[in-house]
Chain A
Amino acid sequence: TLTLTSLIILTLPIITTLLQNNKTNCFLYITKTAVTYAFAISLIPTLLFIQSNQEAYISNWHWMTIHTLKLSMSFKLDFFSLTFMPIALFITWSIMEFSLWYMHSDPHINRFFKYLLLFLITMLILVSANNLLQLFMGWEGVGIMSFLLISWWHGRTDANTAALQAMLYNRIGDMGFIMMMAWFTIHLNSWEFQQIFLTNPKNTTLPLLGLLLASAGKSAQFGLHPWLPSAMEGPTPVSALLHSSTMVMAGVFTLIRFYPLMENNLTIQTSTLCLGAITTLFTAICALTQNDIKKIIALSTSSQLGLMMVTIGINQPHLAFIHMCTHAFFKAMLFLSSGSIIHNLNNEQDIRKMGGLYKTMPITSTAIIIGSLALTGMPFLTGFYSKDPIIETANMSYINTWALLITLIAVSMTASYSTRIIFFALLGQPRYPSLAQINENNPYLVNPIKRLILGSIFMGFLISMNTIPHTTPQMTMPPHLKFMALAVTLLGFTVATELNNMTHNLMFKQPSRMHTFSTMLGYYPTTIHRILPYLSLTMSQNLATTIMDSIWLEKMIPKNLTTMQKTAASLVSNQKGLMKLYFLSFLLSITLGLLIAL
């Protein structure tokens, strides 16, 4: 039963794409109801799993066998995939309903829904894959759909470059993924997870490094992160689905899947930890002074992803997974409410031009406040059940102190930039032109946000109560460590409110150096995007044109030879060019010699 229901879940959205009645208007509603039913059906295996803790592996269609490598279509339904699938379906359902309102005036809205559905299908393939080939198919699929969706308004140059950026950075990560697949084929002769975990090889540093690179590319860790803020060029439902709750989770999800291998490899754990710590601090710094509301939320996503990497680095993959699931809810909700603000203010995305929405858009402002509180880990909201255990375990484990301090600073910055959003977008006097008609009454807008609010409040509790802990959590710790997370969050809140209130009275003539560092995203895109193409182009020009063509083929032998001979001949010879005389003397000497000999 478990197996059949799970397969039905995956095929329901696929059937909708196969019907292909793009021209009619009811395609949208069919899609949305298909996702709704898929969500309802996917709850059945999840509840069965919660009740019985019985994992299932479906392996049904044998595709091919290449020498000794057997490739088949197999699904793995364990704790991770069974918990994530209903969540992904729920969020996609809410986002599809939201985009019925948001993309209402778009003539290609059918194609938009088709893309969203394709994305959902590939994400589900990724999540439920039991072998690396299927996971790679889902991986590439979400990459492609992200490209298509980011460049939705493809007449805009910035959107096209952002989509290219996303694709390129994902590709760099894919190199690592392919290296990992190759290593597993060579050493373990299999791509199935069961075989990999059973054999448990001892020298797994190389494939896990590849996996780390792949996750860094997909989940926008430091070094491969600029595509995520640029990906905000896509429509808000795209940002909500891809870049807050599902696609960027793919990298972290794969890392979590490999936790039996990562338990034994301390090098990889420390590198994950440091990478995650750097990411979370850097993106939190960048998010502090951004002026575009979607960029702030995107950088906040990146920061939370760094936090998840940190959790994996301290060998707590289950906590990272729970944080991933809860983060999906409130981040999607933050994006949806920002989309509501943007549309209602007539496509205004700059928070310096918003304000005073607290009274005019009550549902949206409630959503933002609840979402921000959940994000910062307010006690007993959703974020608390995942973020607080992370900070506690990090405090109590044998860990790199610098990474820990950085993570704590980033947590306080989370509170700061959330306060900044609330302050600029909601409070104060309106700074937008007064012709904007603010209308929240559409049920397609309100219902998804209300559902996600309920999810943000209760899901943390529900998930943590219904899962069996795989590692024993820390029970006793000194009180100052216990309250550390709360303390840094409150610190962030107070500092941010203080500074934001000061902006009413003071203004800098010229932003300070730190401010420009933060606003320009740490100068990272500016430097890297110019230096790397310049270096590779000049290197190729040097190699191909200069060395090969000009020097070796043209100048080395032919021209050098001519100049050498010319200078030597003109230097050395003192001939006068009297050819007839020389030839005559030659003839005379030959005849004389012949005559003498004979």
Chain B
Amino acid sequence: MPYIYINIILAFVISLIGTLIYRSHLISSLLCLEGMILSLFTLNALLSLNINFALSTIVPLILLVFAACEAAVGLALLIIISNTYGLDYVQNLNLLQC
């Protein structure tokens, strides 16, 4: 397997760990989510260029579109949490269940 792929997959794994393990702010999880998407996008683009399969060049674009929507949804959730709790600390997500 070419080394460039391993590099990017390593970036993905690091971002994944960053998404799942975070201390107090919810926004850091969202940031690492963005990092995951970025590494996936780079992987897809390099893959379709190296294998010379022209039809699959559309896959990174579609991924980008969905990533944008997903980022928007994540930010909206963040804002609602911030509206109800004042901060985005993870500890206070089990208070005031609504």
Contacts and interface: CB of A to CB of B under 8 A. Distances in A.
Interface of A: 570, 576-580, 583-584, 586-587, 590
B93 A577 contact: yes
B87 to A, nearest CB: 14
A586 B20 contact: yes
A570 B96 CA distance: 12
Contacts of A587: 16-17, 20-21
Contact of B94 (A577, A583, A586): A577
A42 B98 CA distance: 93
The interface size bin for chain B is 10 to 19
A584 B19 CA distance: 10
Interface in B53-98: 90, 93-95, 97-98
A583 B20 contact: yes
A584 B21 contact: yes
A570 to B, nearest CB: 6
B22 interface: yes
The 4 closest A-B pairs by CB, nearest first: A577-B93, A577-B94, A583-B20, A587-B20
A578 B94 contact: yes
B97 A577 contact: yes
Nearest to B94: A577
Contacts of A584: 20-21
Interface in B1-51: 16-17, 19-22, 26, 29
B19 A583 contact: yes
Interface of B: 16-17, 19-22, 26, 29, 90, 93-95, 97-98
25 contacts: A570-B98, A576-B97, A577-B93, A577-B94, A577-B95, A577-B97, A578-B93, A578-B94, A579-B26, A579-B90, A579-B93, A580-B22, A583-B19, A583-B20, A583-B21, A583-B22, A583-B29, A584-B20, A584-B21, A586-B20, A587-B16, A587-B17, A587-B20, A587-B21, A590-B16
B90 A580 contact: yes
B94 A576 contact: yes
Which applies to chain A's interface (DSSP): helix, strand, loop or mixed? helix
Contacts of B16: 587, 590
A20 to B, nearest CB: 71
Contacts of B29: 583
Nearest to B23: A580
A578 B90 CA distance: 8
B17 to A, nearest CB: 7
B24 to A, nearest CB: 9
B90 to A, nearest CB: 5
A447 B86 CA distance: 95
A576 B96 CA distance: 10
A257 B61 CA distance: 75
A576 B95 CA distance: 8
A578 B93 CA distance: 7
Nearest to A576: B94
Nearest to B96: A577
A87 B60 CA distance: 89
A124 B89 CA distance: 89
Nearest to B97: A577
A92 to B, nearest CB: 77
Given A579-B93, A587-B16, 15 more contacts: A576-B94, A576-B97, A577-B93, A577-B95, A577-B97, A578-B93, A579-B90, A580-B21, A580-B22, A583-B22, A584-B20, A584-B21, A586-B20, A587-B20, A587-B21
Contacts of A570: 98
B80 to A, nearest CB: 11
Q: Which of B17, B20, B90, B95 neighbours the largest number of chain A CB atoms within 10 Å of its CB?
A: B20
Contacts of B95: 577
Contacts of B93: 577-579
Contacts of A580: 21-22, 90
A587 B18 CA distance: 10
Nearest to B95: A577
B89 to A, nearest CB: 10
Contacts of A590: 16
B1 to A, nearest CB: 15
Contacts of B97: 576-577
A95 to B, nearest CB: 77
Contacts of A577: 93-95, 97
B4 to A, nearest CB: 21
Contacts of A579: 26, 90, 93
A590 B16 CA distance: 11
A587 B97 CA distance: 26
Contacts of B94: 576-578
A101 to B, nearest CB: 82
Nearest to A588: B20
Contacts of B26: 579
Nearest to A566: B98
B56 to A, nearest CB: 26
Nearest to A583: B20
A584 B21 CA distance: 6
A580 B89 CA distance: 11
Contacts of B19: 583
A586 B90 CA distance: 17
Nearest to B24: A580
Nearest to B92: A577
A576 B94 CA distance: 5
B93 to A, nearest CB: 4
A416 B97 CA distance: 86
Contacts of A583: 19-22, 29
Contacts of B90: 579-580
Nearest to A578: B94
A578 B92 CA distance: 9
B51 to A, nearest CB: 25
A268 to B, nearest CB: 66
A579 B95 CA distance: 12
A237 B84 CA distance: 78
A583 B18 CA distance: 10
A580 B21 CA distance: 7
A590 B17 CA distance: 10
Nearest to B90: A579
A570 B26 CA distance: 21
Contacts of A578: 93-94
Nearest to B98: A570
